[in-house]
Amino acid sequence: MNISTDTRIAIVGLGYVGLPLAVEFGKKYPVTGFDIKQGRIDELKAGRDSTREVEPAELAAASQLSFTADPEQLRSCNVFIVTVPTPVDNAQRPDLTPLIKASETVGKVMPKGAIVIYESTVYPGATEEVCVPILEKHSGLSYSTSLPFKGRAGEGMGQGQETEQNIFHCGYSPERINPGDKQHRLPTIKKVTSGSTPEIADFVDTLYRSIITAGTHKASSIRVAEAAKVIENTQRDLNIALMNELSLIFHRLGIDTLEVLEAAGSKWNFLPFRPGLVGGHCIGVDPYYLTHKAQEIGYHPEVILAGRRINDSMAGYVADEVVKLMTRRKMQVVDSRILILGLTFKEGWRNTASRWPTWAAVSRPPKPARPSRRSIAIPPMAIPGRAAAGSRSGWLRWRGPGESGRSLR
């Protein structure tokens, strides 16, 4: 299926997922990038991206891309791509609030025949069980899973039949952005695509293939594409959890974990995972979307949740080890100052998502310490009410990929 020259795309959510997508599409199609934060719109209009995912030259190259915080400016669009966060709440349950709000916004402005594509990570079934009813409610249109796609996106399908004119379609193409990675960029990462009908699946696949040089994989249904995304990070989470548990065992045996992994890695089919803290928006969050849906249908996932427990406990384990080392060196623990270097959840990126447990574990009772934090990728910041970064501190240095040394003074 050919993409119509009348295709006008709206990207809803301009974070580290939505902006690169808007830029790539903006090189070929009229694109309106929408975000609810006016400050974000202002910086992008000025040619700056605070996430550092897109360089000023790349923004300038997207000649057909415009930005707005006004949802009314989306009425001229006929393809809507939703790229908002899908976090979990304090009880580790899926928080679909951003997705619901975005669906409400799209539903109020989308025309007949619109195609709404979701990229946000969800559990299998969420697009059609949660988002579609919201789109129907706010648009007054009906969701089509069987009527053929006969016209262009944004036009009534099968002109002359009232039931076909008042419909919309959906697609799902999960994001695979790796924040801070300057080698694996959006066009070079293979994309999974899907649609609510075979014709819409073809349309969505063709649309993405126009910007993805690595190619696409067209899934048989939206639910399959949703499931594929959520298990990608679940698999990584479990592999890291295994390495973390092995490191706990080897530590007690007095064996260097990295030496063990290096030796085991000499076999061709040994996977090169490493122990460490799990942070960010994806690996430590996505498994809870899958386990939520599993429990909803009456299955209690044991392995996935066990992996989550192990990874979530590692910050506390590190804090306990720090306290033990301080005690051995006769360093006072209570009211001590501990400087944590490298607060962002990965090297070379500014975001601190899901890394707060690291310093929170250090300062938790009954061993209260006063942690400060510093990262090369973000400005030096002191935790409110704690010691200022750079003050006289005993300090713990983490080793990231490409770094050397790990120290406790």
Mind telling me the catalytic residues?
A: 282
CA separation, residue 347 to residues 38, 313, 376, 395, 399 (Å): 28, 21, 9, 19, 10
Residue with tokens 């988002």: 131
E-strand stretches of 35-144: 65-68, 79-82, 115-118, 142-143
Pairwise CA distance, residues 129 & 341, whole Å: 43
CA dihedral 77, 125, 93, 175 (to 10 degrees): -50
Query: Beta strand 378-381 with 370-375: parallel, antiparallel or unpaired?
Result: antiparallel
Coil/strand/helix, residue 172: strand
Contacting residues for 175 by C-beta, under 8 A, at least 6 apart: 17, 21, 83, 119, 120, 121, 229
- Are 54 and 24 in contact, with CB atoms under 8 Å apart? no
Contacting residues for 285 by C-beta, under 8 A, at least 6 apart: 86, 87, 88, 121, 233, 354
